[in-house]
Amino acid sequence: MNNAKKTLWKVIGASSLGTLIEWYDFFIFGSLSIVLSTKFFPADNPTAAFLSTLATFAAGFVVRPFGALFFGRLGDLIGRKYTFMVTLMLMGGATFLIGCTPSYESIGFLAPLIVLLLRLLQGLALGGEYGGAATYVAEHSPEGQRGYWTSWIQTTATFGLFISLVVILLTRLLLTEAQFDEWGWRVPFVLSIFMVYVSYLIRKNMDESPEFKRAKSEGKTAKSPLRESFGNTYNLKFVLLALFGAAMGQGVVWYTGQFYSMSFMKTVMFLDTDQADLILGIALLLGTPFFVVFGKLSDRLGRKWVMLTGMLLAILTYRPIYEAMYQLTNIEKKTEQADLRRQTVMAKETAAGQILEETITKYFTDGTTVKHITTSMPALAQDGGTQDEAVQFKPSQKTTVLISGINYVCLVILIFVQIVYITLVYGPIAAFLVEMFPVKIRYTSMSLPYHIGNGIFGGLLPAVSTYLATNAQLQGKVDFYLSGLWYPIGVAGVCFIIGAIYISKSMNANAVKP
């Protein structure tokens, strides 16, 4: 391996590790949201619940694009390396401090307030990190190989989610449920500081990107990156094209494959939570290498059609894929082994009275197991109970499905296919965005469309899809569970048309003139 290639691998390693850690930090908050809500945001307290909502929405929708602008400007003024060092430290520090923050029980309102501020800092840091890392790697890459080298950065978002799931799963396995609930949930947050420190040590010895160094030595850096990026019609039209012709579709395909699929498995298919996490984990692991495959392919075929192929496949196949997923746990089409059916009733004594938990377990010929768990309070049922008892106890019904054999394999494949779509659209996009803008405003100009595409168009997916599915259910549509898909299909469809018509192959080769 020659020296240039060795240096490039060091650049990739340093950049990817840092970005991976940032995604990990961002995702553990979401993955542990249920535990966090009990520790910091008690639902019965309206102010804490309000802060929780802000933490959920503001970090993704508001702060990420703002972070892209703030750090993008900084990166175009003082350099890529120092800027993404700052974002790394900011993210690591915020994550570590979330793990150290005393709970609501200990310090009251201060706890949710601190966590909200730290979550906003996380969003800010993430908004600045990605553009910096992608730009830094692209500016080190040889001409004609940017797709391949930047695709390593692209693996980090998916891999970050995977690592966050693994760390949480391992922590749960190593501790008892009580230990995890008491202090164990802090471990994934605290761990982050060690990872960030290692990444910091690696990154601090790296050089500034050669293209930025050259531009700086020639006095060609931007004086006002924000004005030059968005106040200049010539450049603004490329920012809008990057958003509506690429990032918007990429955002919804990414969110559908990684998050909507998980939510669909858990809330529509009623799949067991651990099984759903594991299936997604396997699919992520199998799919991740394809980021590099399609990044490299985009160097040969051009970025445009690799990305648009991913979008088109998603548009055409999302509904059949989700229909097939739904049918895998649809017990109406399965044959029950009635003689194996089991029914158990467990009584639990609580301060409010006796709670009965009735479990009916059904076994099906294809290996599917379905558990219906009903909890009730007989005293309440008989005399209506007191006001306090009624508040404390809510009867519930829960269905959990476990699949096995061919059904399990089929589900892994169906999720894997969606991950491959993600790799098609996401693998080449860093190189595509970097090549669209000139060095002097690259960090600012590419970061904003990326974070609006992902944070806003992708982030809206759960809310809009739930709205569409609920409306369809109210209208009595038989396949209401597929209606939520019209949002990613519609957004990706518009993006596909814009990308196909307005993005030209020559556009990337000619970096935008100032």
Binding site for another protein (CB under 8 A): 46, 49-50, 53-54, 57-58, 61-62, 65, 233, 236-237, 240-241, 243-244, 452, 456-457, 460, 463-464, 467, 494, 497-498, 501-502, 504, 506-507, 510
The three-state secondary structure class of 386 is: coil
Please identify, using beta-carbon distances, which residue of 2 and 506 lies nearer to another protein.
506
Nearest to 440 by CA among 127, 201, 221: 221
Please identify, using beta-carbon distances, which residue of 35 and 507 lies nearer to another protein.
507
Spacing of C-alpha 436 from chain mean position: 25
Is 271:265 a contact under the CB 8 Å cutoff?
yes
Please identify, using beta-carbon distances, which residue of 11 and 495 lies nearer to another protein.
495
Please identify, using beta-carbon distances, which residue of 226 and 285 lies nearer to another protein.
226
Please identify, using beta-carbon distances, which residue of 169 and 497 lies nearer to another protein.
497
Closest distance of CB 463 from another protein, Å: 7
Closest distance of CB 237 from another protein, Å: 5
Please identify, using beta-carbon distances, which residue of 50 and 109 lies nearer to another protein.
50
CA separation for the pair 483, 147 (Å, rounded) = 35
Please identify, using beta-carbon distances, which residue of 132 and 449 lies nearer to another protein.
449
The three-state secondary structure class of 206 is: coil
Residue with tokens 């603004």: 236
CA separation for the pair 347, 498 (Å, rounded) = 60
| Helix H or strand E segment including 509 | helix 505-509
Closest distance of CB 442 from another protein, Å: 17
CA separation for the pair 209, 219 (Å, rounded) = 15
Token code pair at residue 328: 């895998």
CA separation for the pair 288, 264 (Å, rounded) = 21
The three-state secondary structure class of 478 is: coil
**Phi (first) and psi of residue 420, to 5 degrees:** -65, -40
Sheet of 369-376: strand order equals 342-350, 353-363, 369-376, 396-402
Closest distance of CB 276 from another protein, Å: 24
Spacing of C-alpha 402 from chain mean position: 25
CA separation for the pair 123, 120 (Å, rounded) = 5
Please identify, using beta-carbon distances, which residue of 308 and 498 lies nearer to another protein.
498
> Please, which residues bridge with residue 362 across strands?
370
Closest distance of CB 168 from another protein, Å: 24
Closest distance of CB 322 from another protein, Å: 23
Closest distance of CB 461 from another protein, Å: 13
Closest distance of CB 277 from another protein, Å: 25
Token code pair at residue 278: 């594991």
Please identify, using beta-carbon distances, which residue of 244 and 290 lies nearer to another protein.
244
Which are the contacts of 247, defined by CB distance < 8 A and separation ≥ 6?
429, 433, 449, 450, 452, 453, 454, 457
Please identify, using beta-carbon distances, which residue of 7 and 471 lies nearer to another protein.
471
Is 423:307 a contact under the CB 8 Å cutoff?
no
Closest distance of CB 506 from another protein, Å: 7
Closest distance of CB 87 from another protein, Å: 22
Closest distance of CB 100 from another protein, Å: 27
**Torsion angle, CA of 8/10/193/49, rounded to 10 degrees?**
20
Helical ranges in 475-504 per DSSP H: 486-502
Which are the contacts of 437, defined by CB distance < 8 A and separation ≥ 6?
229, 235, 238, 445, 446, 511, 512
Please identify, using beta-carbon distances, which residue of 74 and 436 lies nearer to another protein.
436
CB neighbourhood size of 138 (10 A): 24
